[in-house]
Amino acid sequence: MSVLPLVPDPPPQQRAFGQYLMDQGVLSSAQMLRANMELARNDTSLEEVLIAQGLATPYELADHSAGWFQAARVSARTLTPDPMLLAQVGAQTCLKLAILPLWHHDGITAVATARPNHLPRIATMLPKAWGRIQPAIATESEIQTALAFYARTELTLDASSRVPLSESCRSWDHHSHLRLPLTLLGILGLLVVALAYPVGLFSVLTGWAAFTMLVASAMKLAAFLTYLGDQPTDTDPPTLPVSLSRPEAKRPRISILVPLFRETEVARHLLQRLSQLTYPKSLLDVVLVLEETDTLTRAALDRAILPHWMRVVVVPDGQPRTKPRAMNYALDFCRGDIIGIFDAEDAPDADQLDKVAARFMQAPDDLVCLQGVLDYYNSRQNWLARCFTIEYASWFRVVMPGMARLGFAIPLGGTTLYFRRAALEHLGGWDAHNVTEDADLGFRLARHGYRTEMLHTTTREEANCHVVPWIKQRSRWLKGYMVTYLVHMRRPAQLYRQLGAWKFLGFQAHFVTALSQFLLAPLLWSFWLILLGVPHPLVGLVPDDMLRMMGAMFFAVELCTMMIGLTAVSGPGHRHLMGWVPTIHFYYPLGVLAAYKALYELIFAPFYWDKTQHGLSLDATESPSGGGSVQFQPGHESL
């Protein structure tokens, strides 16, 4: 390969390359002026602006860059890395810098790069033994394709083990042979106690269930009152636009991870919804994350011509086959400084990314995560969808904001999440073996001194509206809760030191009460007997006044749940649900079935991901192609 060395003079600047493009007749002066105006506002490059404005393709710009830098233009076919050089810097570093080391000879190292303007700075991050760096020009997609092929084993292994072992549940694999005998021993012990002291065991479990119900209700009530006391008023000043609040700042590049697995029913609708985002397309990087084995969804997307800001990353097959492992793999291929997460069925507010960028630009460095509000667009479909919407409105619109304002660490939702990339990588991304990776990550952020904040923006998704899929989904969440609690409680003293007393108590209250309430709910239902005038099993063992008080407390908790639900759905978009709030009492018992399914899987299949089926409520009249930039026809090339 004949590659000229990089001249030692200062590197050409964006404007100089723009002048070269005008001299070549690629750009007019008016087009260059518009490009410079966008560069002044956004943290992007001239090349990305020109691609976003439809003035050039990545391949054309790579050809022109090679001419401007007097460097070789290498194609995808000739991008073969030197294995030893690649091992010295690592595939993750190469992906982040958009480089690929090609060969080393006589103190000169040839490096393919998609960012020749930044090569002098990049060279300072490379081993000094590489000597002089010769640039060769390639597109970023070509470099990523080569790295995905040649570093497949390294990237696949890393995706499963990014999180430190002490904070991951993957070590459970090492003791899997002990789970069954220990479980059988525990069940046998419980049976012995139940046979020997049936009344005593019932009394203890019922008392614990009542206590956790009281703690959970007190926590929700405190969050509810905090929420009511911190409502914005009409006199609150409006949020200033970013350009006015911090004129020197530029809007960041945002990468959105969209994990898809067997999502052929929602793929077209998803792409259409993402096309409505108003964030500058030169700063937008939507990564559709597909599993290698998912040939159906891959075939559906292969029929699409995706816009330049949307691309596909295929995750090599491996274990565990979970959403967090797929996101860990795709994280290295992201281009943004902010990482967002959408689910397959999501429909975000069009201006959501604008709000995310504005908040991060104004926020202190320790605020590294923004959680948006989740809502449902099929809340009228049936009773289950209505109750699901009421439950989520209560949690995301009332309880979670109240908990955040009280200073508790909050478990994250699985979508409409945004992270500062540096903090996310510092924590090792997501635990690939945890089936509720979002809740786990929320507390890992808090343990390492980072903060999460609720953001006033909404993403609408599909409420699980059929009983069996609902139970499967909820059992996965509850199993993840069990796993998360056990992992973080490995070293309680260390967790206490990291979280502090207040957040530690909040952690205990949230997880212990949630799991106890589902697993012991049948014991709590026995208190309805008192209100119905039927003798309770504890009559004669517990003073009558205490039983009546517990029955009244149980009724008061139900009223509190209804009050929070009514407040959550009192807005104009949910008022049609207010009459259905009292029926929420008959909705939560489904969680008991899910809890015991989760407990079974915790023992026999802790890493099994019970896939949620989407697309059950898609509107057949919704057009997947009108009004957007996504076309479904042959021609799409994916990574």
Q: Can you read off the two tokens belonging to residue 457?
A: 């923006």
Spatial distance between the Cα atoms of 431 and 294, rounded to a whole number of angstroms: 22
Spatial distance between the Cα atoms of 209 and 513, rounded to a whole number of angstroms: 8
Segments of 427-538 assigned E as strands: 451-461
Q: Name the nearest CA neighbour of 478 among 402, 590, 355, 557.
A: 590
Burial class (CB in 10 A: 0-12, 13-18, 19+), 360: buried
pLDDT of amino acid 117: 86
Ramachandran sector of residue 531 (left: φ over 0; alpha: ψ -120 to 50; beta: rest):
alpha
Q: Can you read off the two tokens belonging to residue 244?
A: 């006015």
Spatial distance between the Cα atoms of 254 and 339, rounded to a whole number of angstroms: 6
pLDDT in tens, 383-442: 999 999 999 999 999 999 999 999 999 999 889 999 999 999 999 999 999 999 999 999
Mean pLDDT of the chain: 86
- Contact in structure between 142 and 79 (CB atoms under 8 Å): yes
Spatial distance between the Cα atoms of 445 and 438, rounded to a whole number of angstroms: 11
The residues, any chain, with a CB within 8 Å of residue 342's CB and separated by 6 or more, are 256, 257, 258, 270, 274, 348, 415, 416, 459
> Distances from the Cα of 588 to the Cαs of 142, 190, 219, 561, in angstroms?
51, 26, 18, 11
Segments of 187-301 assigned E as strands: 254-260, 284-291
Domains in the chain and their CATH numbers? 20-160 (3.30.300.160)
pLDDT of amino acid 226: 93
Q: Name the nearest CA neighbour of 213 among 512, 3, 484.
A: 512
The residues, any chain, with a CB within 8 Å of residue 81's CB and separated by 6 or more, are 100, 101, 102, 146, 147, 150
Spatial distance between the Cα atoms of 264 and 622, rounded to a whole number of angstroms: 15
What predicted TM-score, i.e. pTM, was given to this entire model? 0.88
Q: Can you read off the two tokens belonging to residue 132?
A: 């002089």
Spatial distance between the Cα atoms of 329 and 395, rounded to a whole number of angstroms: 30
Q: Can you read off the two tokens belonging to residue 139?
A: 């597109």
The residues, any chain, with a CB within 8 Å of residue 231's CB and separated by 6 or more, are none
Segments of 107-177 assigned E as strands: 108-113, 132-137
Ramachandran sector of residue 407 (left: φ over 0; alpha: ψ -120 to 50; beta: rest):
left
Q: Name the nearest CA neighbour of 377 among 419, 343, 351.
A: 343
Tally of CB atoms within 10 A around 426? 12
Query: What DSSP element (H or E) covers 275?
Result: none
pLDDT of amino acid 373: 94
pLDDT of amino acid 301: 83
pLDDT of amino acid 639: 34
Q: What is the DSSP letter of 407?
A: T
Look-up: residue for tokens 């046979």?
A: 195
> Distances from the Cα of 62 to the Cαs of 67, 75, 117, 447, in angstroms?
9, 10, 12, 44
- Contact in structure between 516 and 209 (CB atoms under 8 Å): yes
pLDDT of amino acid 176: 66
Given a cut of 50, the residues of the chain with pLDDT beneath it are 1-12, 233-247, 620-639
Spatial distance between the Cα atoms of 93 and 417, rounded to a whole number of angstroms: 25
